[in-house]
Every structure is written in structure tokens, then in C-alpha cells.
Structure 1
Amino acid sequence: MHRTFETTTERRRRTLDGQWEFLADPENEGYDADYGESFPTEVADRISVPSSWNAHTEYADYVGPAWYRRTFETGEESLLFTFHGVAHDATVYLDGEEVASHEGSYTPFTALARHLDAGEHELVVRADNTRGEATLPHDDADWFPHGGIHREVVAETVPDVYVRDLAVEYDLYGDEATVEAEVTLHNVGPRPAEPDLTVSVGDASVTDSVAVEGMDAATATLGLDVEDVDRWSPDDPTLYDVEARLHGEQADEREGDAFADDLRDRIGFRTVSTAGREILINGEPVDIAGVNRHEDHPEWGSAQPLRVQERDLDLIRRAGCNAVRCSHYPNHPRFLDLCDEEGVLVIEEIPMWQVDESTMTSSQERAQRALVEMIERDRHHPSIFAWSLSNECANDHPTVVDGTRQLKWAADGVDDSRLVTAASNTDFEGATDEVFDFCDFLSVNAYWGWYRDGDWDEFLDGIAAEYGEKPIVVTEFGAGAVPGERTHEGRKWSESYQADLLADCVDLFRERDDVAGFAVWQFCDTLTDPEAAMTRPRTHNNKGIVDEHRRPKEAYRVLRDRLADD
């Protein structure tokens, strides 16, 4: 299951998890050979879905295109296929015909197969994890380029008129919420229809009829009030079920037969704001104490099952942390569900990583698409209090500043209920960050004591003086430590050096009134980009407070001891 709860009760759903036929295509011959229509099953391997193909020994270092194939049985029905994550470029073929394509590893895309004939059908997927100067992330990104169908593939039976999208917004007035639900219906039949649409939030509901023409879509906005609201907060993470449900008559030759459809999600009622140097949840200041988390695991790669996600969050919580920065891309929605349930705050980010003026133009359209897809997927998660537009880009250059400002406008246009930020190391590199002018809080990345010597106090004094009275969150800091490496002298790459540096930084950040919080780089050791492997011990980014198998380093215990009383 791709969420921790059921997203529909009416649709017959099947996951297409399991063994698929698989063929790496290093020479990129599949297009010319028409693999989408005539897949070469006689030479294919078999591989599990979902998974990162790089988590399989024989494909551990493979970067390039590869092809997947499986068959499935169905009755005479319309199927909605949702691919929740394919890395990085994807093209989907159904019975030899291209039905969908998508760029980006971390957001879902769909394909609708209308009125399939009963019997066996073939699904073929081409995936390519190649990075380049124009991809997002680009080819210098410092995390491993896991490839493949690494998140779930779900097929749902839908009627001719079904709920395609549900977007909920609300305003809070004391303990009452005024809710607006925007629901998009899709009619894949030839005749017009006017089903009844019911939107419910908790025990409150409203019903209206919605007209939608044949082979068309229609969007309706329904409003309702929710009384005696229990607000979501880190200490009391109350969640409300939200449902859009259709009842009507079939819109084709089967007219007279009743149909039903529904789409479900969850929300939490809360407000997010800033005041001076503080970040506020429901008007109350909150101190951010978090970690950065990559989706990486030695056995699972980027395709982490629920138990690994639960274990990660449990370890984060046991360290005393109340926040996660999803670095540097949208994490699995099921992990965000867990954060909703546990009251863990989240900063979510798009993979616009270290873009400079020469690549900003080619990255802009991709970044905006990734941002909108991320927000549309995750806008109902109350744990997410901020969208991050980028990480360590050339924020002193006008081209990058203008492009990032457009991203800010796009984020506000889709969802203006959260804070917007951008993680920056511009000041650490000796320049002035122009993007901070339109950020709600300042996300600062710096590695004093690791990459270079310097004074954290002096550095933060400069940040506070330069950019006005905004909250400062140190979104990256830390040191590398090879697991098990211990020295009496506390030399670099030892666990003791990492633990001492982390202790000093956390103590300093918590003493400063102008620092609203921090996120340690990083939660666990992760595979690094293959091109950078020669400069990283064990071919890993070793700055985790736990190793890749989640075994604690000294730094984990230091962090836990300092946050134990919070």
C-alpha cells in the first residue's frame, strides 16, 4: 500500500508489485527495436517492483536506460494506472501503444486506459536514470542516481465518471474551520452526466450535483464548516478524514446502471506563520530540531518499504528530533503520512541542487513542474510547514534570483498556507544571498569546522544583521565520520570529531535567540554520486549520525543527550 490508509473504498485496486521482466539497455537500442511493442522476453532478466535496480548486485552501478514488462488480466473496464515514482525519465506502453511519459523520479503520474477488453494485457515501461546538465537534479548532484520503478504501481478500476483530483483549503477561526474543497471530475464516456458529489471532512458533509460533458472534465468547489476543531500540532497531531464521493448514472449505453466513486485523503487543521525570529505553529513558537533524510538503504536503495520508513522515523524521534528536512526531493508520501501521525515537522524540497547561472534557464521549466507536482501531491500533509525551492544554488546571480522568484510565485499560487524558503550556502561561500529577500525564513547551510575553519557565532551574527528580522534555521551542518573510526586525538573522519563538532554546534544554536532551529546533515550515511566516490571514504557520504544500516555513531548519542529534556 502506497499510503498508511486507504485512499478509496469504491474502486477495485490492485498493485502491480512483484516480479517484472527486465532488460538493461546500455546501447539505447530499445527505441529503434520497438521494445514497447515487441519486448525481447527471451533475453530478459527478472526484477522486483518496486525497487531500485541498483539495489540488485548485478546492476549495482548501472546508469542508463532499461525496460520493464509484465502482463495482467482484467475484465471489460477502465483502468487508471498511477506510477508513484520512476527514476528518472519514464515512458509507458500499454499493448504496444505509448500512453504516458514523465520526467522526474519523485512525483507520480497517471495513465488512463478507457474500456479495456477483457483478457490479458501487456504493460511495458522504459526508465532511464541518466543525469545531464539539463536534468533535475543535474549530473553533479552528490547523491546516488538510483534507477527504476522505485515506488508502487497501482491500477484502479474507475467508472466512466470518476474523481480525478481533490484539493482542500481552509481558514481557521478559533475552534471553527471554513473549508473549501475543489473537486475535479473526469467523464471518459460520450454522454453528459450530472452525478451527486458529496464532500465530507470528519463528521461534516455537503452535497451538490455537478454537470460534466461527455469526454470532458469539470471542477466544482464545495464549501462546508467544521465545528469544534481539534488543531494538529506536534504535541497533538489530530487528523481528519476527507472524502469526495460520487453517485450517479452511467454516461454511456449502460445508462440506468448506478455507479459510485470516491477519493480519500487526510488533513490536519493548523496555522503556520512567523513573527520576528520565531516560527509559529498555531500561533505558538516552535524550536526546530531535526535531521536531513535521504531515501537510501543498502538493501533497498531508494525503494524503502514501510518498516524501514517506520524504523527511520522512530530513530529520529528517539534522538529527540521533532523535524525532518526531505533532502533534496519529495520523500515517499507514506513517510509523510507517518510524520503526520507522529507530529514530526517537515521541510520538503525539489531537487534543484546547486544550479548556477549557466544551467538556470534549462532548469527553470523542470523546476516549476517539479514544484507544482510536489505541492499538488503533498498539500494535505499538516506535517509539512515549509516548501523549499532549491539547495545551494548561485543565489547571488540575477538569473538564478529571478528564476527562484518565479518559483516562489508558483508555490504561493498553488498553496499559500505554508512558509517558503531556499537552502543557501551563498554566505558560507563569501557572497550575499539575494533569494533571502523573498524567503519567509532563512535556511542556512554551512560547514564551519569541517570544510573550513571559521567562527559560527560570527557567521550567524552576519546572517542576522544582513537579512533583517527573519527566523534562521541552520538546515545543514556537520562532519563526516567513518563508522567505528575512533581516535584519542579526535581527528577528522573519526566518530569523536563528528560528535564533538555536533555538540558544540547544537549548544550554540540553542543558545541563540535568532536561530529558530537546525537540521543535522545528515540522518544516515548514504551512497554518493559515482563520480565523487573516489573522494568519499567507503563511497558514502559519511556525515550520518547513524551508518547506512542505522547503527548509531557517537554523534547520535550526543544529539540524543542534548535533546533528551525537550
Structure 2
Amino acid sequence: MFEPLWASLLGYGAVGFWKSNKVQAVADWPREPPAWPKYPGRQVRVLNGTWDFAFFGDVALSAELLAEPAHVESVPVPDAFDMRPDKPRCNVCWPKFTEGAGMENGDEELCSYCCSRAYGWRGNQDCWRTLPEAEREGAFEKCCNQHPLRHRRGVARYQTEVQAAFNTSVILVFGACALRCLVAVDGVVLADHSGLSPFSVSVASAERELRSVTVLVDNRFDRVTHPVHQQKYDWYQGGGLLRAVQFHSLASPQPIYLAGVEVFPRSLEYVDVDVRLSSTRPTTESLEYRWQFDDPQEGCNWFGWSTISPGSEAHNVSVPNARRWSPENPELHRLKVALLSAGKMLDCVEVRFGLRQVATSGRDILLNGQAIKLFGFNRHDLVASPVLSHEELARDVQILRDVGANFVRGAHYAQDQRFLDLCDENGLLVWEEVLGWQNTAQDFADGIFMMQSMKLADEMAAASVNHPSVIFFGFFNEGRSDDPSPATEAAYRGMANRLRERSRGSRLISWGSYTTLGDRYLDFADVCSFHHYPAWYPTTAPGNLEEVKGIPLLWEAYARFVEEKFPAKPLLITEAGAGGLFGHHGPSEEKWTEEFQSLLMQMHYVSVFTNPKIAGLALWQFADIPIDRLVSDDEHRPRGLNNKGVLSLSRLPKLAVQALRLLRNSKPAYLGLILPPQDADRLTGLFKV
């Protein structure tokens, strides 16, 4: 059996690690699902806690690795094993290394650059070669304090054991596991999943109470086995069990359960209800469903509930005491559904939903029949790691509301269900999309890429169908939608049809297009969603105020194009923005300053909100995010970050936040630029919108 690579690299022997107590007491596993739905008919264990972990390194992903490794450590799950914290000791040792370079007080940016494992096991060797030879040995370890797995790619193993009811079947529910994951129970591989979306695995019953759960995770990129993940994507793609894992014990030895309860609003009072059953069915016994709206009782006391037989149509069902969901009044309803067989309850699920309708009319996006202008940000589910606490998610929602946003675009994958719950509760409108970034004609002609993409679309739609906040389903962000090949056309047509079918008119379908006027497939979209970064790209070009002045004219030209070519489709600006280094200040025409970023963000906002032909704006982006330094250099992504956030990585505000908040609160009679004092005299009145 393999010894974990990182143990041998650090010189640890068997005594350097310990066998953890793999069986976590039943009482220690949380029982409340971290997000909707709820499962009153099941025994739920949320496996957020201590798991055994081993890292094997650059080896083949295979079932052989399921066996007990020689060395393990205990880690908390959820976990991103290659994004463990780094804590460089810049303030201790770096001044010595930069003496005479004008950085006597140290330079954290340079320190972080030199310590980054993206450049190799001991960081960027170019940094250390500048040291005197006597100081070179051990310099990385002395200064950088990197976790040995930070930015390491390879195969890892997570394992735990759970006590379950004797001889009952089980469902494992994964919030997200990346990049590629083999799921095994009791040593048997049951699933091979790639991508970033919620998925579940059915587990047959066993005449035992102790069930072993093992997940092999491969965070390497492989265009053959999991092409939906590609290294070029413009964010750091962490590996591991990134979101919660749930263990559901069912009442029956057979995996007969409610695979989904989907509520589709047909009006502000009536809904269609689609109850999906698991693939396993009893052969002789008849099944029936019972349901109840807004049941005030705990549990699943189904006596007296309405009855419907499987296969019957449940169209135009009246919701008692119907309340409308809107950003101003995000009212939510609940529905419990019980699955019965011969008078015995097999399963019970409670979902939450909202009564709202979304549509388009000419230039407008309509919510509940009224035109709404969208303003918000693109947001990655990332801080320094993709593992976020509920408090961090709630903080992001609060910041979005404080800035005046009514819209957030989830980039570029299925969103955390906890975040969508918060958006439901706070009235934030959401765009959610299938994993992808700048995919090519080669991808669209790749059968495995398309198969995996369609599966991710199905999983995203199934997980998010009952979230009223999600009004858009998107896909193929910035893909080559100008490519004329039959495979590309089939990919756009097929994905649009798939998501439209899965959402049954409850979502608008689109994609972020950076081919804009050259996009060949806008007929398949409900909304034209354009990306453009005037006055920013090319990144290395100096700031140009003439380009900044042209921003209103640019968006007007796009609006006229859409109005002429697609008169029934609104135009939504789904990406526009600029980089700004947190804490870096200077003239408003100098790139990378917070002042320049704020100026461009304001220009986009003013241009869109004084133009009735444009339905809204999602600025790129909400907060800075980590990137893979092997993909983009520090000239384009300084500090190892995509710095286009209006907040820092740790959610500290840049100048753009205050300016946008003030603009959102401006009276309709005044909508002008808000500039820092040093630029006010020079730039006020320069831009006419």
C-alpha cells in the first residue's frame, strides 16, 4: 500500500502520525440538514466533523487506494486539502532578505509571491537564488511556513464510519466534491463524479450498523476523464469535500424514497408539483403520496393530508393562504410530502418555495408582472478557501444588501445551497450557472465534456428548483458562441433546451457572452447577456480617460443592436469592471488604484441606469479571489488574486463600495459620478452620460 507522499517528504515515520478514532459518536454528528430540504422521514446525520485523511500524491486514481493507508491524520470536513492556510513570517525574516531594496519594513506582497507553492515545492526559486548561498538553505521553510499540502495536486483519501439503523438503505448527499471523486461504502465503489454541483448516491442495505464511507479525491486536471474542470479557468479550483456530506438512513431495506419534490409556480396562487421517486420500486405493493402545505407540526403526521397517486398529474394546485415572494417581501411557503406503501410511511420530505413569476417583455425583465432593473455583482463562493462557514455566507448577503444590490450572479458553477437559502430569505435575485469558463469548439465536440456538463445541469436544476431567488439558469460562460461548427450549435441548443425543460418556465435561460455582436446562438437565449471590459483590457495598457468617456456610448451601441436584432429580448450586462489593488491609492486615471477601479465601476453603473434599453448590470466582481499562479502571471493577476473585487479577499471595502452605495441612494434627479477630492476638480463634468 502507498505511503502518503507528504509523510515521506517531511520525513515523518509511523510514529509521526496517529490513527484517529474513526467512529464518531452518533450524538456528535449534527442531525439538522445545513440547507433545505428537510427530511422528517429519515434519520439524518450531517457528517461535518472529523474524518481520516491521507494524501497519496501523483498516483493513479483507483479502487486500490480504498484500503487503509499506513499513515493518516484527522481533518475537519468540509475541507479543501490543497488550500490549507499559509502563514508566511514576512514581518520576521523578510526585511533581512530585502535589505537595500527600499523595503526595510518588509514587503508582504513580495513575500507571498516568493512563498507561493504554485511555482514549486519550495516556492519561487528565483527569489531564493538572490540570497547569499549561506542563507539559501532552509530559507523557504524559515520564512514561508507553508502547509505541506498547500497547492499540491494529486489523490487524497477521506474516510469515516457512521452508525446507522440495522439493515436499512442509505442515501449519501454531497454538497460538492472536486475535482473528481470516487465514492465507496463498505469498500464498494458506488459513484464516480466530476464537477462542482450537489449529487447523491444510493446505498443498499447491509446487515450491519457500522457503515464505512470513503471518498477518493483527485484534484488534478485531466481532459480525458473530467474535462469539465480545466486548469485555465480563472479561479483557483480547490480539491476535496468542499461542502457538507449528509448520511440519510431510510426506513426500508430497499432504497425506495422521494428523489425530489419540485414546486413550479404557475401563478401567484397556483403551482405544479412534481414528485420524483427513486428508481427502485416495490414490485407488488401500491404507492401513494400524501402532502400538506405549511404544516405547523414537527415530524410527518400524514393522517388527513391530501392524497395523490404516483403518475397522476398535480397541475394548478392551489396554495392555501398564498403569499407573493418578491425582493421587498420575500414570503416563503413549505410543502411536506409523505411516501406511503400499504399504509406504511417509507419517506417524508419537506421543501420550501416561493410564489413568484419571471418573464421578459421587450427591453424589460419582469418579476411578478412588473419591470425590475437588476443591479449587483458576480460572486465566487471563495474566500481564501472554497470552504465557507454559514456566518461568512450571511456576511456576504448582508454586504450585498448594504451596497444596494438586488441581484447576484453566481460564478461559475452551482452555488452553495446555504447561500441560496439566504438569498431566498433576503430577497436577492440570483443567476446560477453550470460549471465552465471560456469553453471551446474542442470542448463542445468532446462527448465526455458534454455528458458531464449535461449531468451538472441536471444536478444544479434539481438542487435549486425550489429557490425563488434563482431567476436565471446559465451555462458555457464566455464560451466560443461565435463558432459555426455543428457541435457548438448542438451544444448551445441542447443545453438551453435541457435547462428550459428542467425549469418549466420558472427561470430565464442565458449565458455570459463575450462574443456579443458575433454570437451565433442568441436565438436560444431568453436574455442577451453581454460581457465587455472597456478601458481595462488589455490589462497592461495604461489607463485611458478617453476610453472611460466612451463607456456610455458603448453600452448604448449594444442596446441598439439587441433592440434591432432581438426585439423580444432584454439586454443584461453580466460582466464589466476593473481591477483595483486593495490599499493602493493614486490618480483616478492610473490603473490598479482603488480610485481608477471606482471610476470605472461608477461609469458602468451610471451608463446602465440612465439607459432604459438595458435591463441591468452585474459588476465583476464582488470580492477578490485566489487564482492559480500557473495560469496567470503577476502582471495580470497581482498578489495571486483576481483583484477586480470591490472588496478585498477578507471582505474589506475598497473605494468603489462607498461610491456605489451613494449612487444607489441618489435621488432620481441626480445620478453623477462620485469622485475623491483630489480628482473632483479635474474630472467633474468631464463625463457626459
TM-score of the superposed pair, with normalisation by structure 1: 0.90
- SS of residue matched to 1:358: helix
Residue number in structure 2 paired with 1:274 = 360
Q: State the Cα distance separating 1:425 from its structure 2 match.
A: 1.1
Task: List aligned pairs for 1:47-58, cutoff 5 A.
Answer: 47-56=75-84, 57-58=147-148
For the structure 1 residues 2 and 51, does the alpha-carbon distance in structure 2 shift closer, same or farther, using more than 3 Å as the test? farther
Distance, in Å, in 1 between the alignment partners of 2:279 and 2:572 is 46
Q: Deviations over 1:85-133 (max 9, x none)?
A: 100111111121112221212x222222232223433221111122244
Residue 230 in 1 paired to residue 260 in 2?
Answer: no
- 8 Å CA contact retained: 2:625, 2:642: yes
1:356 to 440, 459, 463: 440
- Residue 260 of structure 1: how far off its partner (Å): 4.5
The CA distance in 1 between the partners of 2:414 and 2:617, in whole Å, is 19
Residue 513 of structure 1: aligned partner: 612
Mapping of 1:58-457 within 5 angstroms?
58-76=148-166, 77-105=168-196, 107-133=197-223, 135-160=227-252, 161-172=256-267, 176-177=269-270, 179-186=271-278, 192-202=284-294, 206-210=306-310, 219-223=311-315, 224-249=317-342, 258-298=344-384, 301-362=385-446, 363-399=449-485, 400-415=488-503, 416-427=505-516, 432-452=518-538, 454=547, 455-457=550-552
Superposed displacement of residue 553, structure 1: 0.5
Shift of 1:533: 4.3
- Structure-2 change in CA distance of 1:524 and 1:165 (3 Å): same
User: In the superposition, relative to structure 1, how do residues 394 and 405 fare at CA in structure 2: closer, same or farther (>3 Å)?
Assistant: same
Q: Say if 1:199 and 1:243, in contact at 8 Å, map to a contact too.
A: yes
Provide Cα deviations, 1:221-271, integer angstroms capped at 9, x if missing partner: 435322552211111111110221124459xxxxxxx44421111111111
- Matching residue of 1:213: none
Residues 336 and 489 of structure 1, relative CA distance in 2, 3 Å threshold: closer
Quick check: 1:28 aligned with 2:70? no
SS across alignment from 1:25? strand
Deviation for aligned residue 1:463: 2.0
Aligned equivalents of 1:358, 1:163: Cα separation in 2: 38
Higher strand share: 1
Instruction: For 2:279 and 2:377, locate their aligned partners in 1 and report how far apart those are by CA, in whole Å.
Output: 44
CA distance in 2, matches of 1:440, 1:372: 19
Correspondence 1:13 to 2:51: no
Q: Which structure has the larger Rg over C-alpha atoms? A: 2
Aligned twin of 2:106: none
Cα distance, 1:190 vs structure 2 = 6.1
Is 1:465–2:557 an aligned residue pair? no
State the distance in 2 between where 1:280 and 1:131 align.
Answer: 41
Aligned AA (1:494)? T
Give the partner amino acid of 1:405: R
User: What SS does the aligned partner of 1:406 have?
Assistant: helix
Q: Which amino acid aligns with 2:49?
A: G
The structure where helix makes up a greater share of residues is 2
Q: Deviations over 1:407-448 (max 9, x none)?
A: 111112212221111101113xxx611122221111111110
Letter of the 1:13 counterpart:
V
Q: Deviations over 1:331-358 (max 9, x none)?
A: 1011001101111000111122101212
| 1:209 shift after superposition | 4.6
Aligned 8 A contact 1:183 1:221 in 2: no
In structure 2, do the counterparts of structure 1 residues 2 and 157 end up closer, same or farther at CA, with 3 Å as the change threshold? closer
For 2:362 and 2:280, the matched residues in 1 are separated by 51
| Residue 249 to residue 274, structure 1, CA distance change in 2 (3 Å) | same
Residues in 2 aligned to 1:165 and 1:446: alpha-carbon distance in whole angstroms: 39
**In the TM superposition, what whole-angstrom CA distance separates every residue of 1:30-66 from its partner, at most 9, and x where no partner exists?**
627x122x221x3123221112112323322022221
For 1:350, give the aligned amino acid: V
Task: Verify the 8 A CA contact 2:199 2:459 in the aligned structure 1.
Answer: no
Report the Cα distance in structure 1 between the residues aligned to 2:42 and 2:626, rounded to whole angstroms.
39
Local SS of the residue matching 1:200: strand
CA deviation profile, 1:128-151 (whole Å, cap 9, x unmatched): 122244611322111101100011
Distance (whole Å) between structure 1 residues aligned to residue 281 and residue 453 of structure 2: 35
CA distance in 2 between counterparts of 1:108 and 1:397 reads 31
TM-score (norm 2): 0.75
Which secondary structure does the structure 2 equivalent of 1:116 belong to? coil
The aligned residue for residue 649 of structure 2 is: 548
Give yes or no for contact 1:423–1:444 (8 Å, CA) kept in 2.
yes
511 and 101 in structure 1: CA distance in 2 versus 1, 3 angstrom threshold: same
Q: Distance in 2 between matches of 1:334 and 1:473?
A: 26
Q: What is the count of residue pairs matched by the alignment?
A: 539
| Identity level (%) | 27
Distance in 2 between residues matched to 1:516 and 1:319, nearest whole Å: 19
Name the CA shift for 1:371/1:260 in 2 (closer, same or farther; >3 Å).
Answer: closer
Superposed CA deviations along residues 546-566 of structure 1, whole A, max 9, x for unmatched, are: 101000010111111111258
Cα RMSD (Å):
2.2
CA contact (8 A) 1:422 1:439 kept: yes
Deviation by residue 1:444-482 (Cα, 9 ceiling, x = unmatched)? 111101115643233223322333333111111111111
Mapped contact 2:61–2:218 kept (Cα < 8 A):
no
Q: Tell me how far 1:184 sits from its aligned partner.
A: 2.7
Contact 2:52 2:72 in 1 (8 A): yes
Give how far 1:292 is off: 0.5
1:39 corresponds in structure 2 to 68
Q: Using the alignment, how far apart are the partners of 1:119 and 1:260 within structure 2? A: 19
